[in-house]
Structure 1
């Protein structure tokens, strides 16, 4: 039987965030709660009510998703765990899904599998990218993560899960998506519009997210273009189509386009880390 820890990254979570944690907590040997909230949290008592075997880490400021994930990886490695379930504060599994993921790990040789991921559901639509699954809902092989270097701290947020998956594959490791396991995922203020009998997802990301997505996508394309050319070109296509959708359908158009331009410029000059105004 595997030793499975979990990590949930918190950032100013809503009042009911513990409901999502209870959805998977009982399947874990230990849960690391890494809090990137910039003000001292007021929900410690709510956390205690979830159960025992919780390690709460308050960073005191937003250190970025990569830092938080690497913190959890280091803690779980030192505590002797084999795998780490990584979760967002607003995600939850459908019934029976996490059991199927654990059953796969217990029944198969996973020494060469870096990531075990569920199918991701958004508004009743499967949106899983089997090449680069998102971190939320994924089970990370801790030994492999330690070998290839964990997540990119200098990406701060956005695309660090995609980059990690590409790096794992480039190093010869595999990614497994469990087709009968499902994670319900939320995407900010997204909306779905219907245009000529086709449904289009409008993400409505904040301008700052547009900065990170643009900057980090270009770093990812530069680093992996020759190893994953088709994937890289598709990521470039997504950047272009997202920019068009911002102009046509989203609010705060000028701010978002300006942040896209800023993200591309900072990529050109080699800037990484947290956005500096």
Structure 2
């Protein structure tokens, strides 16, 4: 990791936003395009690489842009990668962190819109956890839906419209702007989840402490939701690798075991997980591999086994 001079808290009269990008086997041109955009919007940018094979090439290209770089010896997961970056940002006395994975691309005004909305929300005295942008899926070119807080046994979906501020049940990790003071109150990401549902768990934990999450509709980014996407009626299903489907099913069940997750969320998500299992089984190939990994996900989730998948 490149050394950097730390600033003092007295220098934080205006927001000091640290962008944290966690990468693993990235498409290097896309990663560099993301970093170029973040450099223009944030105070500092850190790439945390999760043990990519081409680590030397990535390190050279990233540091040539003047971006800080932290190389991890192996893939310790998205949550742990974010946490390493957050610890670094705290050492730099950052006022905010904005989290990204390697598959996103913000518009030039995204951070400015998020900070403007944050100022409005705090002025109104609302207890704020985090803000996120609206996003356009790069494959479908459709605006991603915002999942609202659960109401009884349903979760309302909202399509963002210009200048809207929408309360969300949870925010996706990428593009999420969080004050470091909130992270110190709520805590960091749950590393045992490894990759999937890390954002959901943190958002629900913050809500359990009385804080609220919002999507800012005129803050925009592009985002890649999955390997493929299919539409069945009004329902869109993002399809992934067999290993990713393992994490999706396992971590949904692990969340059901957590005391701070609302019971209504648990009921809805358990039923949704059952539907996902059959949808993935029908729609994905090779079907046998998906079946094996999903069954492992059911087994490990019900037994409370977390961390990286055991291959």
Is 1:128 the counterpart of 2:141? The answer is: no
TM-aligned CA deviation for residue 143 of structure 1: 1.6
- Alignment counterpart, residue 245 of structure 2, candidates 210, 231, 235: 210
Unaligned runs of 5+ in 1: none
**1:107-134 CA distances to partner (integer Å, 9 max, x unpaired)?**
4428831211112322223233321111
Is 1:47 the counterpart of 2:62? The answer is: yes
Alignment of 1:102-121 (within 5 A): 102-109=115-122, 112-121=127-136
Instruction: Assess if the C-alpha contact under 8 Å between 2:203 and 2:213 holds in 1.
Output: yes
Count of residues in correspondence between the two structures:
271
TM-aligned CA deviation for residue 94 of structure 1: 3.2
Relative to the length of structure 2, the TM-score reads 0.81
Distance 1:38 1:97 in 2: 28
Is 1:164 the counterpart of 2:202? The answer is: yes
Is 1:201 the counterpart of 2:223? The answer is: no
Is 1:37 the counterpart of 2:75? The answer is: no
Distance 2:234 2:122 in 1: 39
Instruction: Assess if the C-alpha contact under 8 Å between 1:224 and 1:232 holds in 2.
Output: no
Unaligned runs of 5+ in 2: 1-13, 148-167
Using a 3 Å threshold, how does the CA distance of structure 1 residues 127 and 224 change in structure 2: closer, same or farther?
A: farther
Instruction: Assess if the C-alpha contact under 8 Å between 2:196 and 2:248 holds in 1.
Output: yes
Distance 1:184 1:231 in 2: 28
1:236 aligns with 270
Instruction: Assess if the C-alpha contact under 8 Å between 1:159 and 1:217 holds in 2.
Output: yes
Is 1:23 the counterpart of 2:37? The answer is: yes
Distance 1:126 1:214 in 2: 21
Distance 1:115 1:41 in 2: 34
Is 1:185 the counterpart of 2:223? The answer is: yes
Distance 1:267 1:241 in 2: 16
TM-aligned CA deviation for residue 33 of structure 1: 0.7
